[in-house]
Amino acid sequence: MAECVRVICRCRPFNVRETDLKSKACVQMYADTGQVVLQSDNSEKQFTFDGVYPPESTSEQIYDEIVFPLVESVIEGYNGTVFAYGQTGSGKTYTMQGDNSDPQTKGIIPRTFEHIFEATSSENAKFLVHVSYLEVSLLKFICSNLSLSLSAFYFIRFAEVRDLLTKNGEKLEIKEDGENGIYAGGLSLHHCHDVTQCQRLMQIGNDNRHVGATLMNKDSSRSHSIFTIYIEIMLENGSLRKGKLNLVDLAGSERQAKTGTTGERFKEATKINLSLSALGNVISALVSGKAKHIPYRDSKLTRLLQDSLGGNTKTIMVACISPSDNNYDETLSTLRYANRAKNIKNKPRINEDPKDALLREFKAEIERLRALAQSGGQASEDANAIKVEREHLKQEYDAAINELRMQYENEQSSRLKLQEEYEKLKEQYEKASEDLELERRIDNKEAKKRLEILEQQLVGGEQINNVALKEKRNHRIKEAENKMHRLAGNTGVLQLFLSNVGLLWSKMMYNTIFDVIQSKIAELIDRKVFISAALNVHADDPLLHVYSSTQEKLEAVTALYKKQRSKVKSLEAEIDDLQREFELDRVDYLETIRKEEQQIKLLQQILDKIQTISRKDTNYANLDRIKRSASWNEDQGKWIIPEIVFLKTTLPRVSSGIGTY
């Protein structure tokens, strides 16, 4: 069943910079109705989301009301994604990661760790948890095409995907296949069996992440990061499920005039804005319903998030905004961005019986090792092998004794010499037997050690009898359900409520009843929308009313005219805002193009100088031929160019004969 991307909006408090500028608040939030009102001198704009959180709200409140049901579904075998979007300095990283040293300010990611291991310990099932952490870094463009007509939009294809949990930050390639979908090839997976391990790995990745200072934020993220948690579940009946949770912290969109970025920081900012524009184009194409092609391949970020946008994933978007009127344009852009995203429809499903499940392999190996350990190392096939080896040693020993006996009879050697060789041979036989026994004991010890390691990697059921923990989880589920009840004031929120109730009731095996109820309510909603639309179209038409006098009709027509004129003014203001936003974006893009053209010209001039002094005995002496031989690799996002080949010049042989005159 399709469900829309759930979008919430969070507004941070005023920061020191905005206070020094004496900024005024331009944002009002109404949590009961899920509305955000953006005010300006001329007008105000209203947006409705699945949840709104004013500056005084906490990360715990956001997690319990919105993210908690999503993580519960991941534990059941769904795919999930949570990503934060907004301008630089709007609180995205704070929302996703927070301050881990303070329990009150912990972000979504550390709360997810606690939730997952709390849930697995109270379930009567076995779980295997792995994590990965990657970064999409937007590096300086390197001109490999040598063409001045290269479009600036394609620079984002040269972003690099790096593994944040390896020492060298290995560069990864994005791959795709039928079983695994789209993934980063070579990305390291790290096993975790408690919260501490997850937090340690997240800290390692954060230390390796690319950050920098701007006027808007001293610790601005200069890259997109994706922390992924993989959960494999083995139920009591032996069936397997596999869930995946992507926790995405996007780099912030920014304008150079406000951030004050120059040099490398400015180049990073242009790449960040371009990649976010590519993400916006994907969202627009998905929402329009008319696009024949969804441009996922326009950036590596959209490729990695392809399943989260229109695919097999439950997705939550957290739109982070500033309350300051100094950031009005950026806040309006973020709200419009989020408003489009809430219309994306995904088709999540439980991932049952995955072919690449490690739990299946672990289960088979654990059973084999447990049988070996319980039998003291005397498993049937091992016992047979040892018995055969002993027989082989005994046969060799008997053959050697017979050979010695024959030598004695034939040569009539001294008895003392024969006795020495006999004792030596006996000692070798006993030593070989002892070595065989020692090897068996070592194998048994290693099997037990390996068994302990595998059993430690599996989590689940440690606190299945902990009544207090179960009551705590049930209480949080009821709180999330009550929040959905409070928000069920409009059609969109009602549908959100129904999807969450479906998740919570699935634990009580009421899926069939829920589906019937949901289909009936969907029919009622459709009828309500149809009737409301029909009434709204004709309700204000003065020709459909009966008036007692011409004056009454004139007043009705005048009121309708004023109402329509007010709507026209509102739409004109909206058009002006869009044109201003478009103009700002256009100026940014033109500046980006100018900077990149300057960079290309610089590289071209350097290349022209180098070409005059380069070696002529290589295939790169003719650059035009190299350009014609180059081919673009869509998956790798780079040009495949010929290797350097040194050309051999054959000179004519010099005659060794001496000429005559």
**CATH number of the domain where residue 255 is located:** 3.40.850.10
Whether residue 109 sits in one domain with residue 256? yes
Question: pLDDT tens digit string along 306-334?
Answer: 988 888 889 999 999 999 998 888 898 89
**Residue 29 domain flag:** no
Cβ pair 25, 324 in contact under 8 A: yes
The reported pLDDT for the residue numbered 507 is 44
**Residue 411 domain flag:** yes
Whether residue 378 sits in one domain with residue 277? no
Read off the pLDDT of each residue in 626-630 and give the average, rounded to a whole number.
Answer: 88
91 is in an annotated binding site: yes
186 is in an annotated binding site: no
Closest CA to 108 of 52, 55, 66: 66
The single-letter DSSP state of residue 73 is H
**Residue 11 domain flag:** no
**Residue 307 domain flag:** yes
Q: Which of 108-122, 160-174, 359-373 has the lowest mean pLDDT?
A: 359-373
Structure tokens at 141: 């463009």
State which of 119-128, 285-294, 322-331 shows the largest mean pLDDT: 322-331
Domain closes at, from 459, 491, 523: 459
Q: Average per-residue pLDDT in the chain?
A: 75
The reported pLDDT for the residue numbered 152 is 34
Whether residue 501 sits in one domain with residue 427? no
**Residue 254 domain flag:** yes
Domain that holds residue 522: 467-539
88 is in an annotated binding site: yes
Whether residue 94 sits in one domain with residue 71? yes
The percent of residues above 70 in pLDDT, for the chain, comes to 65
The reported pLDDT for the residue numbered 247 is 94
The reported pLDDT for the residue numbered 126 is 81
The reported pLDDT for the residue numbered 417 is 65
Whether residue 293 sits in one domain with residue 424? no
89 is in an annotated binding site: yes
What are the Cα distances from residue 485, in Å, to 34, 67, 314, 317, 488? 13, 16, 20, 21, 5
Read off the pLDDT of each residue in 469-481 and give the average, rounded to a whole number.
Answer: 69
Question: Residue 511: is its pLDDT beyond 50?
Answer: no
The percent of residues above 90 in pLDDT, for the chain, comes to 15
Question: pLDDT tens digit string along 78-90?
Answer: 999 999 998 888 8
The reported pLDDT for the residue numbered 381 is 52
Cα 144 to Cα 416: distance, rounded to the nearest angstrom? 86
Cβ pair 41, 85 in contact under 8 A: no
Q: Which of 109-118, 298-307, 535-544 has the lowest mean pLDDT?
A: 535-544
Question: Residue 487: is its pLDDT beyond 90?
Answer: no
Question: Residue 510: is its pLDDT beyond 50?
Answer: no
Closest CA to 243 of 166, 311, 312, 154: 312
Read off the pLDDT of each residue in 178-193 and give the average, rounded to a whole number.
Answer: 85
Whether residue 499 sits in one domain with residue 374? no
Read off the pLDDT of each residue in 41-61 and give the average, rounded to a whole number.
Answer: 89
The reported pLDDT for the residue numbered 132 is 94
Cα 614 to Cα 606: distance, rounded to the nearest angstrom? 12
Amino acid letter, residue 505: W
Whether residue 195 sits in one domain with residue 75? yes
Closest CA to 318 of 488, 2, 96, 500: 96
Cα 74 to Cα 131: distance, rounded to the nearest angstrom? 14
**Residue 103 domain flag:** yes
What is the 3-class SS of 217-259, one letter each residue? Answer: CCCEECEEEEEEEEEEEECCCCCEEEEEEEEEECCCECCHHHH
The reported pLDDT for the residue numbered 539 is 55
Which residues have CB under 8 Å from 123's CB, separation 6+? 75, 460, 461, 464
Whether residue 103 sits in one domain with residue 236? yes
**Residue 78 domain flag:** yes
**Residue 439 domain flag:** yes
Number of structural domains the chain divides into: 3
- Chain position carrying tokens 């929402």: 287
Whether residue 202 sits in one domain with residue 67? yes
What sign for the dihedral angle of Cα 66, 68, 69, 75?
Answer: positive
The reported pLDDT for the residue numbered 541 is 60
Question: Residue 211: is its pLDDT beyond 60?
Answer: yes
Amino acid letter, residue 613: I
Whether residue 181 sits in one domain with residue 115? yes
Question: pLDDT tens digit string along 234-276?
Answer: 877 777 888 999 999 888 766 655 555 555 656 666 677 777 8
Cβ pair 96, 182 in contact under 8 A: no
Structure tokens at 652: 């004519």
Question: pLDDT tens digit string along 217-245?
Answer: 555 667 889 999 999 888 777 778 889 99
Closest CA to 184 of 209, 167, 203, 159: 159
Whether residue 517 sits in one domain with residue 433? no
Which phi and psi (to 5°) does residue 330 adopt?
-65, -40
Question: pLDDT tens digit string along 371-415?
Answer: 666 665 444 455 566 667 667 777 777 787 777 777 766 555 466
Question: pLDDT tens digit string along 514-524?
Answer: 454 555 555 55
The reported pLDDT for the residue numbered 545 is 67
Question: Residue 156: is its pLDDT beyond 50?
Answer: no
The reported pLDDT for the residue numbered 269 is 64
Angle at alpha carbon of residue 288, lines to 295 and 521, rounded to 5°: 125
Whether residue 178 sits in one domain with residue 263? yes
